[in-house]
Amino acid sequence: MEKEPDTVHEKVINEQAHIENNKISYWKLYSHATKQDWILMIFGLICATISGIIVPFMTVLFGQLIDSFSQFQTRKIDKIEFLDKANYFTLLFVYFAIVAFFTNYFYMACWVATGERITRRIREQYFRAILRQDIAYFDKLGAGEVTMRITNDTHLIQDGISEKVSMGFSFMVQFFAAFTIAFIINWKMTLVIFVIFPMVMLNGGIFNRLIVNYKRKVLDYYSKSSVIAEESISTIRTTVAFSQQKNVSKLYDSKLEDAKLSGVKSSILNSFGIGTNEFILNSAYGLAFWFGSTQIINDETTSGKVISVFFSVVAACFSVNQIMPDIMAINSAKGAGGKIYETIERTPPINIESKEGDILDNVKGRIQLKNLSFFYPSRPEIKTLKNVSLDIEPGTTVALVGSSGSGKSTIVSLVLRFYDPIEGEILFDGHAIKGLNLKWLRRQMSLVGQEPVLFNTTIAKNVAYGLIGSVYEDIGENKKHEMIVQACTMANAHDFIMKLPDKYETNVGEGGFLLSGGQKQRIAIARAIIKDPKILLLDEATSALDTKSESVVQDALDKASKDRTTIVIAHRLSTIRNATKIVVMNNGEIVEIGNHDELIQNPEGAYSKLVSAQKIQNEEKDFEEEDSIIERNYRLSHRLSRPAPVVNEYSDIEEGSNTEYRYSTWELIRKISNHSQLYLVFIGMTASFICGTLFPVFAIIYAKVIDAFTKPKDELREDAKFWSLMFLVIGVVVMICSLIEGLCLGIAGENLVLRIRSISFSSILRQDISFFDKEDNNVGALISVLTSNVTDIGGLAGVTLGTISRTLSTIIVGIIVALIVGWKLTLVVLTTVPLLMTAGYLRYKMMAGFKARTLKVYEKSAQIACEGTSNIRTVASLTREEDLLKIYSDMLDGPMKEGYHNAIFGSLNYGFAASMNYLSNALAFWYGTLLFTNGEYDVYKFYTVFMAVLFGAMSSGRIFSYAPNITKAKISAESIIKLIENVPKVDSWSKDGKNIDNVKGYIKFSNVYFRYPTRHNVPVLNGLNLNIKPGQFAALVGPSGCGKSTTIGLIERFYDVISGTIQIDGVDISTLNVNDLRKHISLVNQEPSLYDMTIKENILFGCKSDQRPTQDDIERVCKEANIHDFIISLPDGYDTPVGSKGTQLSGGQKQRIAIARALIRDPKILLLDEATSALDSESEKVVQEALDKAAKGRTTLAIAHRLSTIQHADIIFVIKDGKVAEKGTHQELLARKRIYYNMVQDQYLGKMN
């Protein structure tokens, strides 16, 4: 460990790791709009302008109407002339309706369509930007965050750049048009009133700025929670094995709590902003009435002009109220866009998209490392390489050996230019690799990593990815298939592939989970050698193979290495003894260089000690030293233990089932409601209902005001004082109710979102492993459920719920008031309500279909993004960026077409609903004037009903604008409820089942048959019988794919057997409580899974729920796992973060921590699935001794390819074709000279007599 204070070094690291903290302007969100988009948006805004102007023009009509009523009452015009004027005004309303239909339709259609198009490009550009980032960027970024950004955040952006903008713009035009008209009619009165509105602007500006900041914080906390979710779901077997579902849920909830606090603060600020705005606006009403009355009394204007100005102010204030949800959506979009554009605009120093750099004509394959020093950007205090120099001649094989963490894999990462060194340089055929084109450079190499990654597609396509960028990429399908088969044959994969149901077209599942570790690694090797690369990089390439497969594959790799430069990293020294040059590394430095024969001559040398550590002492003691080098099985493939949420299929539904779940809206509300928060919802809804009823109350007051203008001046003066004061009183009431509404519904909404996220996540963790094995279930889809689906539901809570409640109360109470005051006119106008309801319902149904059809596609596209980010090193080494982007882009084609369909046809209903508002007014005015002229209604009655209908019609138009929100919330709620209500067969929440108090550890398999649920026609276990006595050390050996790991999974009850029984201490484990069963078991997986926590927290992850280990206990198990010295050498010791999935540690370091995690549980049964596979020989020897000690007093079941680790086992079971082929001790099996004997021979354990 060395500190590196040099500013030059810091500059190099900062260039690779720096992420700009980007605050963007709102207009930045439109940077991906095309010329066509701008034409459509501008046309839409023109239509929105016309739509917004119509309402203020209606105020002019109101003024003229008042004059007509006054003239008729004072006999200045007769009945016929009055009715002619009334018919003229009615006809104008019809014209307004026609204009409203077309303008509302076009502005809605244009902005919905452009919102879809722009958001699609943002999604594509964000994913493109993610894929082009350097690896250092991903050291701080989890796949869960990327998934959340590309689903949830882009959804927020789309909501804030599409129809809500045009709607908000229309209301803004309405506001300014109303004041312009008012100013023309009566400038004095308008000027007095307008003084108030700068207060509105200032109030809104201050609160909006604060709200945006809190919205951004909410999204940041959600992204952190998504990282936790992605890690725990992608490593679900580890989470389940240690019964840590509750603890992981608590960790997840802690991030949600932080988000909730910021969300509540945002809601409080929003409620304060709305409340003060309401008071200011109602003050404007009162001021308008008082000043207008004064002018009439002073004969400065007419009552008609005052009414026109007054209603212009009403229209302006109404528009301010209606625009608030749109502003909230815009604020959310701006907050979400910050992180998105932060990535889009980041140009990494190591840029795969760059066209710059030289391309060499004649590649020889010489690699020179000159004075390389390096530390990882995420851990600059630890120097990984120290002044390393190495010359690798063309066509030679150079092997890197040494202890875990010595810098071997780091060299491979630097050669691939995943990072740049802080000192020194790497030359490729004499050219500095920094000066070469990056994409071209990587395409000269093939990598088989420590953790072989396969993608969620067919075997054929996985192998064919190795051809990307080669001359064979675009050859015919037949020729390509021949190359695939040839490569798989060389990698000893062809035979097992041909036994699969769909052969080369078999889908391997997410992360290749449907295959065994050895099968995955063979396909990864086939992918690497298919294009005949100039440089072959093998980082423990045969680690997960059984002995026979490894021997065949090693021969193939030896042949493949001829005439090309090969860099091999190996712990199993027999695989590299024929290397041209062996480089021994320790602590970031080269300590020895030479070939096997040269290095073995020095018995005190580092290489000789490694060889000695791998010797196995056979009882016959007559092995030659060179034959005692044992092969090592290093299997660190990062297995995504089948993560991901299928929203429409669950573990109790058979594959291919078309079963659908349907819930009524009220049933959904009941199921997702947080009953403990219902009092807040009740109070908030009551407050919003009161706010909504004030508009019908206004109708009464407005009618009184109009009536007052027809009275003598003395009466008008008294009425002016009273009704002006009433406006102020109503303003205070509305302000208080708005504050209560925002506070209560804001808190309840945030709690609802937290509750749904929390329950959804814990429900995901509740599922048994078969749930995660399903084809449709993947990490990306589950993260999508936790992010965008919950956001959809949350979008209907809080402020939006309050607005809907206000609107409904305005409509309902308005109808009641109108019926009481004038039932005839009200009933006639209500005949238009069914048409309005039908239009709204049709839009709702259309949006529901749109959401349902696109939901799955967005989940699948999210999985592409999640998979690409999770496996970014494999993607980068294959230069698969463009291919992934194309797949992602193609997936968005379907939703885009659906979006166009929705824009074109869904907007028709919106336009129709808008036009019906004016037609309702026309009908109300026409029939009302008839009633008035017949003496059935007076001015007060007519205008009370007319205004109540007017406010109701305006509100109904707004309620239909929430159809998309309601639809998304309903579809998302159905998905989440299905998940929550799905009870798995192996239920970790269940309290049922027996508990065993004193477990002895007797394990018995009786005629066990098993097939994986997702592959019913492929038998895995075929009558397996095992008998392991308490305290025995039992071992399972056999070829990869024979069922060894499946056996361990069945003991953990990841699955239940098809037939037969598994017993522990004579009790069938299917009758035991699953959590109590797992409490007595510890598992060390083939692929160690660590979490983005500190080392100490990762070790404590293995504790039972009732355990309280001390620091001494932690250090003890770490010493046993031979990791303590390394930990205390770190600056933060046990408090050092390990990074996402343990990326800050080497494979061996990760596995030792995983062993320590298993040991701290102090289990009665210890399950070791290649537990020492990632360790160097020296560490393995120490750890193996620790495991041998740990095995005393407990039953241990070990799986091993490296037979030296299990030669002292009490009993060894040789598994073949899913059943026991032979069993016995090491010596007994050797004496029989059958399968086990041949396996030992293959591993050069000795020359048998």
Close Cβ partners of 686 (under 8 Å, ≥ 6 residues apart): none
Q: Which of 1206, 1234, 1240 is nearest to 1221 (CA)?
A: 1234
Report how far residue 802's alpha carbon sits from residue 741's, in angstroms, rounded to the nearest whole number: 7
Q: At what angle do helices 799-821 and 823-830 cross, to 10 degrees?
A: 130
Assigned domain for 22 exists: no
pLDDT for 628: 30
Assigned domain for 307 exists: yes
Whether residue 651 sits in one domain with residue 634: no
Among 582, 615, 638, the domain boundary falls at 638
Reported as a single tens digit per residue, the pLDDT across 226-239 is 888 888 888 888 88
Q: Is the pLDDT of residue 946 over 70?
A: yes
pLDDT for 11: 54
pLDDT for 605: 85
Reported as a single tens digit per residue, the pLDDT across 478-508 is 899 999 999 998 888 898 888 888 889 988 8
Report how far residue 760's alpha carbon sits from residue 225's, in angstroms, rounded to the nearest whole number: 13
Q: Is the pLDDT of residue 979 over 70?
A: yes
Whether residue 1010 sits in one domain with residue 929: no
Whether residue 634 sits in one domain with residue 656: no
3-state secondary structure at position 156 = helix
Instruction: Judge residue 981's burial from the number of C-beta atoms within 10 Å of its C-beta, 0-12 exposed, 13-18 middle, 19 or more buried.
Output: exposed
pLDDT for 848: 66
pLDDT for 121: 92
Assigned domain for 812 exists: yes
Assigned domain for 590 exists: no
DSSP state of 507: B
pLDDT for 632: 27
Whether residue 97 sits in one domain with residue 48: yes
Whether residue 336 sits in one domain with residue 484: no
Q: Is the pLDDT of residue 426 over 90?
A: yes
Report how far residue 747's alpha carbon sits from residue 751's, in angstroms, rounded to the nearest whole number: 6
Of the chain, the percentage scoring pLDDT greater than 70 comes to 87
Q: Is the pLDDT of residue 4 over 50?
A: no
Whether residue 1010 sits in one domain with residue 940: no
Length of the chain: 1249
Backbone φ and ψ of 157, nearest 5°: -65, -45
The secondary structure of 392-447 as a DSSP string is E-TT-EEEEEESTTSSHHHHHHHHTTSS--SEEEEEETTEEGGGB-HHHHHTTEEE
Q: Report the DSSP beta bridge partners of residue 1197.
A: 1034, 1167
Report how far residue 575's alpha carbon sits from residue 397's, in angstroms, rounded to the nearest whole number: 12
Close Cβ partners of 804 (under 8 Å, ≥ 6 residues apart): 796, 959, 962
Whether residue 652 sits in one domain with residue 633: no
Backbone φ and ψ of 778, nearest 5°: -150, 165
Close Cβ partners of 62 (under 8 Å, ≥ 6 residues apart): 307, 308, 311
Assigned domain for 228 exists: yes
Q: CATH number, domain at 482?
A: 3.40.50.300
Among 638, 668, 689, the domain boundary falls at 638
How many independent structural domains does the chain possess?
3
Assigned domain for 402 exists: no
- Mean local confidence (pLDDT), 191-217: 79
Going by pLDDT thresholds of 50, 70 and 90, the confidence category of residue 644 is: very low
Whether residue 1208 sits in one domain with residue 1106: yes
Assigned domain for 487 exists: yes
Highest mean pLDDT of the ranges 104-113, 292-301, 833-842: 104-113
Instruction: Judge residue 294's burial from the number of C-beta atoms within 10 Å of its C-beta, 0-12 exposed, 13-18 middle, 19 or more buried.
Output: middle
* Average per-residue pLDDT for the chain: 81
Reported as a single tens digit per residue, the pLDDT across 1222-1235 is 999 988 888 888 88
Whether residue 741 sits in one domain with residue 633: no
pLDDT higher at 698 or 1061: 1061
Q: Which residues of 581-603 are buried (b: 16+ CB within 10 A; e: fewer)?
A: bbbbbbbbebebebebeebbeee
Among 945, 980, 1015, the domain boundary falls at 980
Whether residue 906 sits in one domain with residue 1007: no
Whether residue 1176 sits in one domain with residue 1028: yes
Of the chain, the percentage scoring pLDDT greater than 90 comes to 12
Backbone φ and ψ of 639, nearest 5°: -90, 120
- Mean local confidence (pLDDT), 1097-1124: 86
Q: CATH number, domain at 831?
A: 1.20.1560.10
pLDDT for 681: 82
Q: How many CB atoms lie within 10 A of CB 1132?
A: 13
pLDDT higher at 799 or 204: 204
User: Domain limits at 140?
Assistant: 32-349+646-980
Whether residue 789 sits in one domain with residue 761: yes
The secondary structure of 649-667 as a DSSP string is --TTS-TT--------HHH
Assigned domain for 443 exists: no
pLDDT for 1034: 92
Query: Going edge to edge, which strands form the sheet with 367-374?
Result: 385-392, 367-374, 423-428, 431-432
Reported as a single tens digit per residue, the pLDDT across 724-744 is 888 888 888 888 888 888 888
pLDDT higher at 849 or 271: 271
